[in-house]
A and B are shown apart, each in its own frame.
Chain A
Amino acid sequence: MSSDSLHNLTAHEAANLLGARQTSSEELTRAYLDRIQAVEDEVKAYVTVLDAGAMEQARQADRQLAAGEGGPLTGVPMQLKDNLTTSGVVTTCSSRMLKDFVPPYDATVVDRLRGAGAVFLGKGNMDEFAMGSSTENSAFFATHNPWGLDKVPGGSSGGPAAAVAASEATYSLGSDTGGSIRQPAALCGVVGLKPTYGLVSRYGLIAFASSLDQIGPMTKDVTDSALVLNAIAGHDPMDSTSAPQQATDYTEALVPDVKGMRLGVPKEYFVEGMDHRVTAAVEAAIASLEDMGASVDREVSLPTTPYALAVYYIIAPSEASANLARYDGVKFGYRAEDTQDIWEAMEHTRQQGFGAEVKRRIMLGTYALSAGYYDAYYLRAQKVRTLISQEFEQVFERYDALLAPTSPSVAFGLGEKMDDPMQMYLSDVCTIPANIAGIPGISVPCGFVDGLPVGLQVLGPHFGEQALFRVAYAYEQAHEWHSMRPNL
């Protein structure tokens, strides 16, 4: 295989070539670094590229492979979203606040991938502190959608989604608090999985909203998604919210057969104002799964769905306002200069260190938690959260998985929604309910509108990742969407 096409490989294809000694990790890594060099000016998916470090890891992986000690991800070059701490490597969260922050430890997922022999190409751009739906809130630069360079890649994991779509990495890890893996995956035409809350350790994921955050794979296909989940899932004593689940081989769920599966289509996800061409693409995907033998019920109702957005934009900012209180200019991160006292130092540090969206969320959360408003906002939102979770539980007694759009539109124009935060928030309307209930969701490419990708979302019950993989894999294998690459 010529080195100029090596970067188009999926992780499992790359691993097969490495295993058969048809390429080396060094050659593969060099091909990716060349690819980054060639397209990064247009895409801008990376905050940091680790040329030397990646080549060193590649040589080490080649030694492991030569000794027959490699696993399924050994020597495969990948990217990490820049809110995952990497020991000795700057981790910015795309914020001025952490522009020079060099963490003294690895996130658990980073540690596990290191152990699996992964090659780290660099750190992916994102909305500052993972707050946003377009990656335009990065304090450094916006990322461009590889399918349309004047369009957003979605967010907050826009760097990872664009990097995978542009073949600047075989795969990446993102984080999803309200759709930040699935929505950019849909908008960039890649596969994005938000695992069940607690399946993947959050240790070393820079906190945004602790009861909603979850790390997951962003990949070129469903097989890679299962392989990467195998590597990162599992209980971690460093995260007391990580679930004591038994290890599972998710690749066993990769069966191209949905016969007999009970699938439901919740009508509330086809929201008012949705792009009808996106609706048509998603409905065609649903019909296709029905043709393949699944039983599909199109009359499923989750009546509290319309309230999920309000619940989310109260709970997530509330948790963020507490989590981000640590940025006070004392122990790490940015510190304002020329301040007179401790309060001014704190206030100016945050004024200068945080961007507009982060401040908006801190303010919103502080308000929702403040005396006199706590009951009306935060407590009420938590109660509605219970109702939303119960509704999912009841529905999953009758269905193995639910099918819905991932996003109500395809990628929108850069700058289009930046002046209207509420419009931006509405782009998360189909992904937020899964985070509220802690259930898993996967977005898989299901077509194009005006040359821009559309995503089909599959939702499952807690720890129902196998059902998601089975539906997503069967659908993917029956179509060609996953093998399409943008012209760059």
Chain B
Amino acid sequence: MPTRYLFVEGVQALCYTGAVCERVFMELTRAEVIHITALCRVAMTDDELETMRSQLSDILGHFETLQELDVEGVAPTGHLGMSQTVLREDSPRPSLAREDVLANAPLREDNYFRVHAVLDE
């Protein structure tokens, strides 16, 4: 598990992820930020990475307040007002016209979206 540096009242301490810490300022590492960009597939310059590292650290530091609350036994809310899955009849109906859909394709070849090769030869 990756380590994170925590600053407690000005004293730098080492903490492991998942530990409950109160009133801490958390610093993301550059490696962690690179890992996130890889997960969400967004390219970034070195400058962007550093700005992101510092801003996300600041924001996440504010979120540590959530660790204060006792949520033992509380059910999570994922979606509001949906007590059950909504089903509809599986009846045929027209979908969007092919030309309308392909009209927005950035790269197109005949009736296909054109992309780079996905599979190796």
A residues at B contact (CB < 8 Å)? 101-102, 104-105, 197-198, 211, 237, 240-241, 243, 304, 306-307, 309-311, 313-314, 321, 325, 328-335, 339-348, 350-351, 354, 356, 359-360, 362-364, 366-367, 370, 372-373, 375-377, 379-387, 389, 421-422, 425, 437-438, 462
CB atoms of A364 and B59 under 8 A apart: yes
CB atoms of A383 and B103 under 8 A apart: no
Interchain nearest-CB distance for B20 vs A (Å)? 9
CB atoms of A367 and B80 under 8 A apart: no
Interchain nearest-CB distance for A208 vs B (Å)? 15
Contact A304/B81 with A342-B118, A372-B1, A377-B63 known, Cβ cut-off 8 Å: no
CB atoms of A387 and B69 under 8 A apart: yes
CB atoms of A105 and B96 under 8 A apart: yes
Interchain nearest-CB distance for B51 vs A (Å)? 8
Interface bracket on B: 35 or more
Q: Across the interface, which residues of A come within 8 angstroms of B1, CB to CB?
A: 372
- Going nearest first, the 9 A-B pairs with the smallest beta carbon separation are A382-B76, A335-B106, A332-B104, A104-B100, A438-B80, A347-B43, A383-B71, A351-B43, A240-B86
Q: Across the interface, which residues of A come within 8 angstroms of B59, CB to CB?
A: 313, 364, 421-422, 425
**B78 at interface, CB cutoff 8 A:** yes
CB atoms of B74 and A102 under 8 A apart: no
B residues at A contact (CB < 8 Å)? 1-2, 17-18, 32-33, 35-37, 39-44, 48, 51-52, 55-56, 58-60, 62-63, 65-67, 69, 71, 74-82, 86, 88, 96-97, 100-101, 103-107, 113, 115-118
Contact of A342 among B33, B100, B115 (CB under 8 A): B115
CB atoms of A382 and B56 under 8 A apart: no
Count, A-B residue pairs, CB within 8 A: 168
CB atoms of A211 and B42 under 8 A apart: no
Q: Across the interface, which residues of B come within 8 angstroms of A386, CB to CB?
A: 74-77
CB atoms of B74 and A383 under 8 A apart: yes
CB atoms of A384 and B71 under 8 A apart: yes
Q: Across the interface, which residues of A come within 8 angstroms of B101, CB to CB?
A: 104, 331
A158 to B89 alpha-carbon distance, docked (Å)? 40
A250 to B69 alpha-carbon distance, docked (Å)? 39
Contact of A197 among B52, B75, B80, B86 (CB under 8 A): B80
